[in-house]
Amino acid sequence: MTKTKRASLFIAAAVLIALTAGCSKEKAPEFEEVDLTQVADLFEKPLQPNPLALAPEDVIVTVEGEDITHGEIMQAVQATMMQLSRQVPPQKLSQMYSQVYQNMTDSLIANILLSKAAENSSLAVSDEELSEEIEKIKAAAPEGQSLEDALAENGLNLEEWKDNLRSQMLVSKLVDEKTADVAEATPTEIATFYKENLDSFNVPENVTASHILIAFTEEDTDETKAQKKEKLEAIQEQIAGGASFEELATAHSDCPSSQHGGELGSFERGQMVPEFEEVAFSIEPGVVSDIVETRFGYHLIKVADRQPESVRSLADVNEQLKSYLTGQKKQKALVSYIQTLRETADVVMQKQDMDAGEAE
């Protein structure tokens, strides 16, 4: 199997990243949150290997005669750490590096074992199935980007990519086959999990708001700031006279939200700068605030809705929990199957230094 093929299998079989946690204690599923801080990723710069330790081409482990290099593992580590940077406090992130490196190594080993098991099985992916999957991928592509463009950016040709896609579809079939007999989560299991993790279903107080921003720049003086405030005061007068807040936001706001009439979506306390948050959580829905100054500039804020703190009911999250807990069962079954494959496979660790790379 080529390294390109192995990399694509790693990306495609996304379940493998999750299963590296093995049979660790289950956590409540994370629900979607609105990120209004737009903080840059902590890992905008690539993770760099320690030059005194391992080189990218150094082989870490050999699985059934196939090498996995430090560079391959670092690619997976970088992608995972970037995802974690949006969920984990910075002070804890660096402490997780060694475990992530080990988990990604185990995932790449599992990918090879699963791909070999799939190739040696009676399973197959027909040309029709492959064509249907390609059409789905094309339909999901971002507007203005073709499949050919995406392949060119990654240095792949179409036929090579099709072979990789067929292989990852074959692995998916094997995973489905090995977890087909796993029973769905029962109502009792769902209710028990809900009660034991009740805090995870708290919904904090939140508001849905829009704003018009006249932004500051580094060159602003007291005089230019006063002129900007006058501009927003004129907009404020138009709104008081019946003009559309949304139309004025679209025409005058310096925030990217202007493309949506100034809409910021829903947010909780702690997601916005204090001056903005204090006003947003104090005015009544439908009311436009007075001018608010933050480090970003001058704002007019309009709250569309406010929801008090609440707890999601079991009925509201039942289907989501059923899917989550059933997925956990399937994950454990797959972990067990991979462990069986590994026990009989030729897996040789060439390098033992799992801390050889370090994040900037």
The DSSP secondary-structure symbol of 241 reads: T
Alpha helices in the chain (DSSP H): 3-12, 15-19, 70-84, 90-93, 97-119, 127-140, 147-153, 158-179, 187-196, 222-240, 245-252, 274-280, 314-344
Q: Which residue has the tokens 């399937």?
A: 330
Give the residue range(s) of CATH 3.10.50.40 domains in the chain: 205-308
Residue 100 confidence (pLDDT)? 92
CB 64 within 8 A of CB 112: yes
Strands 48-49 and 357-358: antiparallel
Residue 94 confidence (pLDDT)? 82
Percent of the chain exceeding pLDDT 90 equals: 67
Residue 360 confidence (pLDDT)? 37
Full DSSP string of 173-196: HHHHHHHTTPPPPPHHHHHHHHHH
Enter the tokens of residue 2.
């080529």
Q: In this predicted model, what pLDDT tens digit does every residue of 240-284 receive, in sequence order? A: 999 999 999 999 999 999 999 999 999 999 999 999 999 999 999
Q: How buried is 212 (Cβ within 10 angstroms: 0-12 exposed, 13-18 middle, 19+ buried)?
A: buried
Percent of the chain exceeding pLDDT 70 equals: 82
Residue 25: pLDDT band (50, 70, 90) is very low
Residue 263 confidence (pLDDT)? 96
Q: What's the Rg (C-alpha) of the chain?
A: 26
Residue 352: pLDDT band (50, 70, 90) is low
CA distances from 351 to 67, 78, 100, 199, 357 (A): 11, 20, 16, 43, 13
> How large is the average pLDDT for residues 56-71?
92
Residue 351: pLDDT band (50, 70, 90) is low
Q: In this predicted model, what pLDDT tens digit does every residue of 281-321 receive, in sequence order? A: 999 999 999 999 999 999 999 999 999 999 999 999 999 99
- Please give the mean pLDDT across all residues of the chain: 84
Residue 207 confidence (pLDDT)? 96
Report how far residue 236's alpha carbon sits from residue 66's, in angstroms, rounded to the nearest whole number: 67
Give the residue range(s) of CATH 1.10.4030.10 domains in the chain: 3-184+318-358
CB 42 within 8 A of CB 93: yes
Residue 38: pLDDT band (50, 70, 90) is very low
Q: In this predicted model, what pLDDT tens digit does every residue of 208-221 receive, in sequence order? A: 999 999 999 999 99
Residues contacting residue 92 through CB under 8 Å, at least 6 positions apart: none
Q: How many C-beta neighbours within 10 Å does residue 291 have?
A: 16
Nearest to 248 by CA among 213, 207, 280, 296: 213
Q: What stretch of H or E contains 66?
A: strand 66-69
| 65-74, 87-96, 275-284: range with lowest mean pLDDT | 87-96
CA angle, 34 then 35 then 37, to 5°: 145
Q: According to the per-residue pLDDT averaged within each range, which of 11-25, 118-132, 149-163, 346-360 is highest? A: 118-132
Enter the tokens of residue 49.
């290997």
**Superfamily of domain covering 3-184+318-358:** Porin chaperone SurA, peptide-binding domain (1.10.4030.10)
pTM of the complete model: 0.64
| 29-43, 120-134, 332-346: range with lowest mean pLDDT | 29-43
The DSSP secondary-structure symbol of 260 reads: G
Residue 152 confidence (pLDDT)? 84
pLDDT of residue 42 exceeding 60, the answer is no
Residue 53: pLDDT band (50, 70, 90) is low
Report how far residue 329's alpha carbon sits from residue 172's, in angstroms, rounded to the nearest whole number: 17
Q: In this predicted model, what pLDDT tens digit does every residue of 123-173 receive, in sequence order? A: 999 999 999 999 998 888 777 778 888 888 878 888 989 998 999 999 999
- CATH fold of 205-308, please? Chitinase A; domain 3 (3.10.50)
> How large is the average pLDDT for residues 104-118?
94
